[in-house]
Amino acid sequence: MSEKCAKMLAALCLMVMMVVSQCVYGQMFPRKPIKLITGGAPGSVTDSIARPLAEKLSSLLPQPVIVENRPGAGGILAMDLVAKARPDGYTVGIATMSQLVFNSYLFAKLPYNPLHDFRPVAGLVSGPIAVAVNASVAANSFRDLVVHVKAHPDELRYAIPQLGSPPHIVGLLVLRAAEIEMSAVPFKSATEALRSVLSGDVPVLLEAPPIIAEHVRSGKLKALAVTGRHRDRLLPETPTLEEQGFSGIQGDVWIGLVAPAATPDDVIARLNTDNNEALRSFELKEYLDAAGWRSTGGSAEAFASAITESHALWGKLIREAGLHLD
């Protein structure tokens, strides 16, 4: 056999071995427990999604999926941990729109690159932000609120859980579309922001419907609008901003599942398949519906497109607002 033929045969053998190895690896995955990293503390929004998801995935994979809470720095610590993990599918992360989109424009120096350090696995849930006011505020619709703010500039402020949080950034879009100005009052958590509006210290609140629905039903808060494409199931009587004549405001926020950037295709495919099956299960779907979320799921490519589209919308908005957090 000539030297040239020998080299060609060796190269062919190597290619065959690599293909076989990848197929075997994909068939064997997962062979050990998987860590599901979330940047929220126990009991937080992301934690409340991660735990039932992990339980369902554990029965499908079948390997234990263990939730690991890494709160701090608005989720930056958790996302950095996922970005730097071995790209073998055994460390994945619950990622919010803040962590994958907003932070790109809010921080000059992130320890991770949201667009290059992760592979999207699948969307998990999406939902709107609600505009609510203390029951004493003389506004029964979002248009009433706009009229009041224009007539009394600098009088009303709105509470948010943190600067740079989804309620804050979505609030910027709402204010721009309504052509009004209000000052944001940041708190350390959604609980503190809610408490300030219930007490009347701050009159307006922007938050997710699950946070405020109970207090709307009790009459302590009035929900004036939701920012999504559709009415929210927890606030069925509350119209969207589009319904009230404010076009161009479709501020749904989303949460998804990501893996380190170099995670193999077959592992992403397996995680995506089982994630979608988990979201279709009666138990998880019922839980998420009751919590006010819409299950998204879908392909990894669809989630990647959603991330790209979000950068185009929200990046421009944050830059125009001149908002920086470092």
Can you point out the beta strands (E) in 33-117? 34-38, 65-69, 91-96
Mark 288-317 as b/e (b = at least 16 C-beta within 10 Å).
beebbbbbbbbebeebbebbeebbeebeeb
Which residues are CB-contacts of 138 (< 8 A; sequence separation ≥ 6)? 144, 148
Quote the pLDDT of residue 137.
94
What would the pLDDT profile of 230-248 be if each residue is shown by its tens digit? 899 999 999 999 999 887 6
CA distance 299 to 269: 9
CA distance 241 to 25: 49
Quote the pLDDT of residue 191.
87
What would the pLDDT profile of 194-239 be if each residue is shown by its tens digit? 999 999 999 999 999 988 999 999 999 999 999 988 899 999 999 9
pTM of this prediction?
0.82
| Pairing state between β 118-127 and 253-260 | antiparallel
Q: Within 10 Å of residue 222's Cβ, how many Cβ atoms?
A: 21
Report the residue count for the chain: 326
Q: 26 pLDDT band (50/70/90 cuts)? A: very low
For CA atoms 269, 272, 278, 281, the dihedral sign is negative
| Pairing state between β 65-69 and 34-38 | parallel
Between residues 267 and 164, which one has the greater pLDDT? 267
Domain architecture of the chain: domains with CATH: 33-126+253-321 (3.40.190.150), 130-226 (3.40.190.10)
- Specify the DSSP class assigned to residue 73: G
Q: Tell me which residue of 160, 42, 169 sits closest to 99, measured CA to CA.
A: 169
Quote the pLDDT of residue 223.
97
Is the bond into 64 cis (omega within 30 degrees of 0)? no
Q: 21 pLDDT band (50/70/90 cuts)? A: very low
Phi-psi region of 74 (alpha: psi -120 to 50; beta: other; left: phi over 0): left
What distance, in Å, lies between the first and last C-alpha atoms of the chain? Answer: 65
Token look-up 């076989």 returns 20
For CA atoms 64, 70, 75, 76, the dihedral sign is negative
Q: Tell me which residue of 203, 205, 173 sits closest to 191, measured CA to CA.
A: 205
CA distance 39 to 213: 24
Statement: residue 24 has pLDDT above 60: no
Which residues are CB-contacts of 139 (< 8 A; sequence separation ≥ 6)? 133, 145, 148, 222, 224
Bridge partners, 259 (sequence order): 119
317 vs 50, 111, 199, 244, 266, CA distance in Å? Answer: 29, 23, 31, 22, 36
> Is there a contact between 272 and 94 (Cβ–Cβ < 8 Å)?
no
